[in-house]
Chain A
Amino acid sequence: MIKRDLFEMKNKFFWKLIFSTFCLGLSTNLLGQSSSAPSLGVASNGGPVYEDILRGFDDPSRWLTFSGDYSGKRHSPLEQITPENVDQLRPVWTFQTGTTTRGRGFETSPLMDDGILYVTGSNNFAWAIDARTGRSFWQYRRDLPNDLTYGASAPVNRGFGMLGNQLFMVTLDAHLVSFDRRTGNVLWEIPLADYKIGYSATLAPLVLDDKVIVGISGGEYATRGFIDAYDPATGEQIWRFNTIPGLGEPGSETWPPDPEVLSRGGGGTWMNGSYDPDLNIIYWGVGNPNPDYFGDTRLGDNLYSNSLVALDADTGELKWHYQFTPHDINDWDSNHMPVLADIEWNSQERKVVMVGNRNGFFYVLDRVSGELLLGKPFTATTWAREIGDDGRPIVLNDGSKGCLPDPWGSTNFMPPSFYPALDLFILTARETCATFVPEEPRYVTGQSSFGGVVFIDGEQSSGALRALDVHTGELRWEFTYPSPTFGGVMTTAAGLVFAGDHEGNFMAFDVESGENLWHYQTGSRIWGAAATTYLLDGKQHVLIPSGTTLTAFALPD
């Protein structure tokens, strides 16, 4: 334990001292220079309000929510960096976090407002960073307990939520914390669940008008997932949606009638959701049932595991759901960014939600009704090749024969992107093989209950960036990687696709042809993260987290 404390500089007063000294020095220095210089990132306003987040990319100097706007498209209208000039892109600065998650990634999406980046990191570090210099204003590190459960094996975080002068972050010990964005001081914090049982939290909170929406991690343990709404001012809970129903509640008929089985049914909600302000509906993915691989003690479809749920944002009431993988025994959590778009479907304007699923299928659903419009495989998945007329997959292989997607899936939570002008859904695909051997678990509080083991065939695996026609699910183009990849995707209206791979390359592609136009070796795998982009002093910048670094790119002057 002593080693751990020394390594991570547990004493936060020490850090506070270091950083307040640093900030004091910086501001003195600036004041001494010139008052006519740009503010160099000193927050002068009261911070973004809900209407600002709602406007999304209308103000491209900002990036105020996980995907840049509520739709989850991760598609910026910026056009300064083009297919013609992208090969000139070069690093402007690199920020070193000094905290690592070897085996996982630096998965955050930084928020950007008024020249300041708000960034969360591994092990619940966080920073406010000057976007011009890459220097930090403050650093926060949560004083984490030594008996973390799921949080210890995935000590990652995907970003802040933001409203006014408040930032919101969830933690590995399953809390929601509100910060003053000017100082990094904690305003309030509340427990979401008991981390000692197996809960943790890693996603970027979704901030609506008067609510902070969060989900929970821990489906590998005997837990019960939920989606919560909290009052941004006080941290008071407004509503909770349990992803596993209670005995007698709708959906419980898809489980054995056993309150104990239901209470540990899993269904984590650890990846961000999206929001349709017109319908006032939030869309959120739900993870695997527990135990992950052993299904015999939870016969039935196991709702709402491996589903997309559409919830009334005011009440948390379920409007509809669609289950991608009924009775999952392969750990194919459906925790993906749901992508909302209004597209022409059979010559009719339709509001759709699209999901590239861990089970290897690409889905398009009507987001008003939940009607399935399309379900097509985008990898060589062998568990199923088609969806039946009843909307259920026609299962060919339960996992005992090998060569399905492995438990990490055909894709995962790394954000995809939608390119509206071409109706292309662009995602990272993983071609993998595994054989599942279920085994009844014993339940011990605070210990995982996977319910078996998996033999992964590492020799037969590869990765690819794939562009799918959303109307047919057909592959328009692909760019192959040597190994299965966890990097996310962003597109810009100039016709560019930005993506990262497992070998550490940050890359730009032509959206029409898939041709690689530029790459930069960041030095560490890009895992879970996707790029963000914004205008700073009128110039387009692109950011990518990788390993222990955050690097900003721009064209030369």
Chain B
Amino acid sequence: MAVVAFVFLSNLAQAQGVNPLETDPRAAQAGGAIFRAQCATCHGADAKGIDSIDAPDLTLIWTREATTDASVFETIKEGVVGSIMPPHQNPDPEIWMTVSYLRSIAVSGTNETVLGNVDQGRNMFLENCSRCHRVDGAGGSLGPDLSSITGRRSVASLVNSLREPSSNIGRRFKPVSLTTAANERVLGTLKSEDAFSVQLMDSEQVLRAFNKAELIRFTRELDSLMPVFSEAALTEADVNDILSYLQSRRGRRPSI
């Protein structure tokens, strides 16, 4: 078993903050076996988490600035107090292997630098996107904050979101429409729902809640509230400019 080969590294593993197996290509593979055996039940086979038990998406943990190999190691070893994430008794090298595995499946984002014009991209963004999306603390909130989006999504998936926004809609941005008893029609993104009520942000970006019993109609829409940006609306060069701009803002803290 690969595990045995790593045991000699247990002393190295105590060197704080550094994954002693970082450069070993076998570590992630061995960690994958450990993940499937011990982690997948709660975090899902694809590590994307299970909402109903509050198990987080582990492919996104590295997009947070505070996440390091050492912090992930500690979370696995110590567990999360007050939750069902238990401490793990595995030998340290096995935990480092799991860290290596989680590194290997991290959503990589746009590692390559997009060649575009940042200044033009900013203008394009302000003109086309900022009514609904925030960057650096400025802009709208109907869609996701895009300040660090290039760290989480590849160029291809970001382009796809512009060209076909309805193909993949984020969990907190599902479109709904409803008609109230007073015959007001409301379009918005669903934030929360139970058997009796819905909580949404309407298209004017106002947070509103409704009792289902008081609605004439409540519909889950298939089309995203985001408009389709075809080649005619934004050329490939325009898109590259916007992505360059977003990439230039990556890692900055939003100004308050």
The interface of chain A, by Cβ under 8 A from chain B, is: 1, 3-4, 7-8, 99-104, 146-148, 152-155, 220, 407, 437, 439, 441-442, 446-450, 452-456, 458, 479-484, 501-505, 507, 516, 519, 521
CB pair B194 A504 closer than 8 Å: yes
CB pair A7 B86 closer than 8 Å: no
Closest B residue to A104 by beta carbon equals B84
Q: Does B186 contact A (CB under 8 A)?
A: no
Q: Does B50 contact A (CB under 8 A)?
A: yes
Question: What chain B residues lie within 8 Å of A448 (beta carbons)?
Answer: 37-38, 41
CB pair B78 A102 closer than 8 Å: no
Q: What are 7 of the A-B contact pairs (CB < 8 Å)?
A: A153-B84, A439-B36, A447-B90, A450-B37, A454-B41, A484-B52, A516-B195
CB pair B87 A146 closer than 8 Å: yes
Closest A residue to B46 by beta carbon equals A455
Contacts A99-B82, A442-B1, A450-B40 aside, 7 further interface pairs with beta carbons under 8 A come to A103-B54, A152-B79, A152-B86, A437-B45, A447-B38, A454-B44, A503-B193
Question: Which of A104, A447, A501 is B37 in contact with, Cβ under 8 Å?
Answer: A447
Question: Which of B37, B53, B90, B196 is A441 in contact with, Cβ under 8 Å?
Answer: B37
CB pair A480 B195 closer than 8 Å: yes
Question: What chain A residues lie within 8 Å of B55 (beta carbons)?
Answer: 103
Considering the chains assembled together, what is the distance between the CA atoms of A3 and B74 in angstroms? 12
Question: Which of B1, B44, B84, B194 is A103 in contact with, Cβ under 8 Å?
Answer: B84
CB pair B42 A103 closer than 8 Å: yes
Question: What chain A residues lie within 8 Å of B86 (beta carbons)?
Answer: 148, 152-153
Q: Does B89 contact A (CB under 8 A)?
A: yes
CB pair B83 A449 closer than 8 Å: no
Q: Does B51 contact A (CB under 8 A)?
A: yes
Question: What chain B residues lie within 8 Å of A101 (beta carbons)?
Answer: 82-84
The interface of chain B, by Cβ under 8 A from chain A, is: 1, 33, 36-38, 40-42, 44-46, 50-55, 78-87, 89-90, 193-196
Question: Which of A103, A220, A446 is B89 in contact with, Cβ under 8 Å?
Answer: A446
Considering the chains assembled together, what is the distance between the CA atoms of A483 and B90 in angstroms? 35
CB pair A3 B81 closer than 8 Å: yes
CB pair B53 A104 closer than 8 Å: yes
Question: What chain A residues lie within 8 Å of B81 (beta carbons)?
Answer: 3-4, 7-8
CB pair B195 A503 closer than 8 Å: yes
Considering the chains assembled together, what is the distance between the CA atoms of A33 and B78 in angstroms? 50
Question: Which of B41, B84, B89 is A450 in contact with, Cβ under 8 Å?
Answer: B41
CB pair B82 A502 closer than 8 Å: no
Which secondary structure dominates chain A's binding surface? loop
Q: Tell me, rounded to whole Å, the shortest Cβ–Cβ distance linking B36 to chain A.
A: 5
Considering the chains assembled together, what is the distance between the CA atoms of A407 and B89 in angstroms? 25
Known contacts A448-B38, A480-B195, A519-B195: does B84 contact A456 (CB below 8 Å)?
no
Q: Tell me, rounded to whole Å, the shortest Cβ–Cβ distance linking A514 to chain B.
A: 12
CB pair A456 B195 closer than 8 Å: no
Closest A residue to B84 by beta carbon equals A103
Q: Tell me, rounded to whole Å, the shortest Cβ–Cβ distance linking A358 to chain B.
A: 15
Question: Which of B38, B46, B194 is A521 in contact with, Cβ under 8 Å?
Answer: B194
Considering the chains assembled together, what is the distance between the CA atoms of A458 and B49 in angstroms? 10
CB pair A1 B82 closer than 8 Å: no
CB pair A103 B78 closer than 8 Å: no
Considering the chains assembled together, what is the distance between the CA atoms of A99 and B86 in angstroms? 15
Residue among B44, B55, B82 with the most chain A CB within 10 A? B82
Closest A residue to B195 by beta carbon equals A481
Question: Which of B1, B42, B52 is A153 in contact with, Cβ under 8 Å?
Answer: B42
CB pair A483 B84 closer than 8 Å: no
Considering the chains assembled together, what is the distance between the CA atoms of A481 and B197 in angstroms? 11
Question: What chain B residues lie within 8 Å of A482 (beta carbons)?
Answer: 193-195
CB pair B82 A7 closer than 8 Å: yes
Considering the chains assembled together, what is the distance between the CA atoms of A148 and B90 in angstroms? 13
Considering the chains assembled together, what is the distance between the CA atoms of A407 and B40 in angstroms? 12
Q: Tell me, rounded to whole Å, the shortest Cβ–Cβ distance linking B42 to chain A.
A: 7
Question: What chain B residues lie within 8 Å of A452 (beta carbons)?
Answer: 36
Closest B residue to A4 by beta carbon equals B81
Closest B residue to A443 by beta carbon equals B37
Considering the chains assembled together, what is the distance between the CA atoms of A101 and B42 in angstroms? 14
Known contacts A1-B78, A502-B52: does B38 contact A154 (CB below 8 Å)?
no
Considering the chains assembled together, what is the distance between the CA atoms of A154 and B86 in angstroms? 9
Question: What chain B residues lie within 8 Å of A103 (beta carbons)?
Answer: 42, 53-55, 83-85
Q: Tell me, rounded to whole Å, the shortest Cβ–Cβ distance linking A397 to chain B.
A: 18
Q: Tell me, rounded to whole Å, the shortest Cβ–Cβ distance linking A190 to chain B.
A: 24
**Which 9 residue pairs across A and B have the least CB separation, nearest first?**
A152-B86, A503-B194, A453-B45, A102-B83, A103-B84, A453-B40, A103-B53, A100-B82, A153-B86
Question: What chain B residues lie within 8 Å of A447 (beta carbons)?
Answer: 37-38, 89-90
Known contacts A454-B41, A454-B45, A503-B193: does B50 contact A147 (CB below 8 Å)?
no
CB pair B51 A458 closer than 8 Å: yes
CB pair B53 A505 closer than 8 Å: no
Question: Which of A154, A449, A479 is B195 in contact with, Cβ under 8 Å?
Answer: A479
Considering the chains assembled together, what is the distance between the CA atoms of A104 and B42 in angstroms? 11
Question: What chain B residues lie within 8 Å of A3 (beta carbons)?
Answer: 78, 81
Question: What chain A residues lie within 8 Å of B40 (beta carbons)?
Answer: 450, 453-454
Residue among B42, B54, B84, B85 with the most chain A CB within 10 A? B84
Q: Tell me, rounded to whole Å, the shortest Cβ–Cβ distance linking B35 to chain A.
A: 9
Question: What chain A residues lie within 8 Å of B195 (beta carbons)?
Answer: 479-482, 501, 503, 505, 507, 516, 519
Q: Tell me, rounded to whole Å, the shortest Cβ–Cβ distance linking B149 to chain A.
A: 22
Considering the chains assembled together, what is the distance between the CA atoms of A483 and B38 in angstroms? 26
Closest A residue to B1 by beta carbon equals A442
Considering the chains assembled together, what is the distance between the CA atoms of A437 and B80 in angstroms? 28
Question: What chain A residues lie within 8 Å of B37 (beta carbons)?
Answer: 441-442, 447-450
Question: What chain B residues lie within 8 Å of A450 (beta carbons)?
Answer: 37, 40-41
Considering the chains assembled together, what is the distance between the CA atoms of A101 and B52 in angstroms? 13
Known contacts A103-B55, A453-B36, A456-B44: does B196 contact A519 (CB below 8 Å)?
yes
Question: What chain B residues lie within 8 Å of A480 (beta carbons)?
Answer: 195
Considering the chains assembled together, what is the distance between the CA atoms of A521 and B82 in angstroms? 22
Q: Tell me, rounded to whole Å, the shortest Cβ–Cβ distance linking A247 to chain B.
A: 27
Question: What chain B residues lie within 8 Å of A104 (beta carbons)?
Answer: 53, 84
Question: What chain A residues lie within 8 Å of B85 (beta carbons)?
Answer: 103, 153
Known contacts A7-B81, A448-B37, A453-B45: does B194 contact A102 (CB below 8 Å)?
no
Considering the chains assembled together, what is the distance between the CA atoms of A329 and B52 in angstroms? 22
Known contacts A439-B36, A442-B1, A450-B37: does B50 contact A456 (CB below 8 Å)?
yes
Q: Tell me, rounded to whole Å, the shortest Cβ–Cβ distance linking B77 to chain A.
A: 10
Question: What chain B residues lie within 8 Å of A507 (beta carbons)?
Answer: 195
Question: What chain B residues lie within 8 Å of A503 (beta carbons)?
Answer: 193-195
Considering the chains assembled together, what is the distance between the CA atoms of A155 and B81 in angstroms? 11
Question: What chain A residues lie within 8 Å of B84 (beta carbons)?
Answer: 101-104, 153-155
Question: What chain A residues lie within 8 Å of B53 (beta carbons)?
Answer: 103-104
Residue among B37, B44, B90, B195 with the most chain A CB within 10 A? B195
